[in-house]
Amino acid sequence: MIILLAALLETASPDVRVEQRIATDPELNRCLAVDDKAEDPIPHVIDCYDAAQARAEAALAAGYAALRTTYAANPKSLAAIDAGEKAFLAYRDSWCQVDEAAEGEPRMVVATAKMCRLELTRYQVYRIDSVG
């Protein structure tokens, strides 16, 4: 039982290499590095995260589509994929509301929620890629 629990915990938390892969986004880094000379940089940061989220959402949709293609002949697997996708989206959105509520800086609330959604979406893309 302890070995099973240890194995589950090991697969549930990504190692440093996985975290680096998930966090690496050259386009986001370039966008954030641009000094838009604005007095308030937060709108620019939010725009950068919106663009990164759009890329992550496209990768997520492609990942789920690839899984559906791989398991097209298995209705039980397709139903599990559909249920898993719906559950992931609900979890991600709910958890990011918690993250948002915990943000102490009022001006950063929206940016914090966007960062959370991006991080969890990228991790799900990684997980899907590791299954397919």
Instruction: Assess contact for 113 and 98: CB atoms under 8 A.
Output: no
Task: Give the integer Cα–Cα distance in Å for 114 and 31.
Answer: 15
Query: In a structure prediction context, what are the per-residue pLDDT tens digits for the chain, which is 132 residues long?
Result: 344 333 434 444 445 544 555 557 889 989 888 876 778 888 888 999 999 999 999 999 999 999 999 999 999 999 999 999 999 999 999 999 998 888 888 878 888 899 999 999 999 999 999 886
Domain ranges of the chain: 25-131
pTM tops 0.75, yes or no: yes
Provide the CATH number for the domain formed by 25-131 in this structure: 1.20.1270.180
Buried b (16+ CB within 10 A) or exposed e, 93-125: eeebeebbeebeeeeeebbbbbbbbbbbbbbbb
